[in-house]
Structure 1
Amino acid sequence: DVASLTGFHDEVLSNLKLEYSAAGSRVNGLNVTAAASSGAPITINNTTSEGGRVLRVKSADAGAILRFLNVYEHMEGGAITLSLSGAADGPMKGQVDARNFYVVNEPKLASIVSTAPAGDTRSLNEAVKGNIDTSRVQFERGFAEIDKGSGYLRLANGLLRGPRIGTTFQGTLYDPNNNMDMTGTFMPVYGLNRIFGELPLFGPLLGNGRDRGLIGVTYRLRGNANKPTLNVNPLSVVAPGIFRSIFEYR
């Protein structure tokens, strides 16, 4: 048992209890329980059996565990569950699901809303005639399917959904050369757009499905994962939802 343990970003876990089983240098099982500085419980379970491996992480303070592990530093609060499985020495696949959290001072969000696309003089802020505040953004849900292997992390069917902003995303977050190639659709005022998407008649025409909004842009983040280049498709700013997928980067 460990009274307290400091991780990345000075994040502290307390009342840490660790149980593990091993054969030589190989860890076959790992169970960790702890509490975040907010008091929220955290559990990590990693089991290996018959050539397979299962990893499950659950935290009632998503931001704390992600900062502690140096996975992501711009999230505050929320609950998160991560479940991955695969061969003992091979890639692992699964999903991550987070609820009711905030993203704070994320530079990529700020760039998406303020960057004028090539061939267009307007940023997304100007296109929707509003000032989209990205300094502290509330999200009701974040979800993605994960494919994690040696040196790479791929995401599919990704979604961030909140009352003010929503985005879908997919692609390679980083590869063995530390390159990123992510694409998606970004939607301001998501709560209003979602109303149209869920109407029985107008939803299929305007909303392009439950998780696509009425007004949005498609974007691509590509290049070095530490500082990728952002490209925004100007055609999708005013395109109805049902046509937006035509303009998405492939």
Structure 2
Amino acid sequence: MRKRSAEDLLKVLRSWVGYGRSNGKQKIIIDIYNKDDPTHLPRGYKVQYGDSYCDTTVSAAAIKAAMKDLIGKECGVDEHVKIFKKMGIWQEDGTIVPKAGYPIVYSWRKAVQPNDAYSDHIGVIESVKNGTIVAIEGNLGGEVKRRSIPVGWGYIRGYAIPKYESDAGQSSGESNNGGKTESGSTKLSKKSKWIGVVTVNSVLNVRKWAGIEYDKLVSKPELKNNDPVHVCDTIYDSNDEPWYYIYLDKADYGFSSNIYGFVKAEYIRKQ
């Protein structure tokens, strides 16, 4: 009999990327969850189409990949963590370097490690490369998407480490296909996709990572209205809001080399 691996779970999740409320396809995921042993739904609750469905996505993928016994089934993240603990697969340390196939749990109520606050959101690790984690998550901005974050990010609550029967696609923490940011690369691209200008009345901070909780770049902490930027990639912060990974061209600013950083997408207009 074929051994079940992390890659089996990830294949299901990749096939759902883009499923969401805008196209109604989140209903497919929710139906898989509800139709699996419908008389014994966790806590007796049938998930509604308008509900948040991040954990429903993880559970439905486990159901479809025939590994519910390895991951468990829940629609509430904090309740699922209790299941992970009972199964003996919960890792409380959010600073570890995870592997592909690990469910990742977030708490938005605390921004530093160790983070033991209430569990708010969940996804599954697709890859880890050069200190960047890529996870596939349901209900991220209303659909199934990929999120890129640094290893040890303060909002990570912890991980589940399922007892997969095969290490296929898991040994190095990287999936066979690699993770993707919105640009489609396996990591944040450093190549300019388009040029934009800053649209603020005061100043715009350039930060070390996507999110206002991260430090400003000391080398170029602020931008002004109409300053040019090269947009390389897009990622989402802890509130599911888009940020651009940009560089400031040395020719425009008189630097000795290009400077890279993150700015909130809403303050950049394509030129």
TM-score greater than 0.5 by the shorter chain: no
* Structure richer in strand, relative to its length: 1
Bigger RCO (CA 8 Å, 6+ sep): 2
What TM-score results when the alignment is normalised by the length of structure 2? 0.26
What TM-score results when the alignment is normalised by the length of structure 1? 0.28
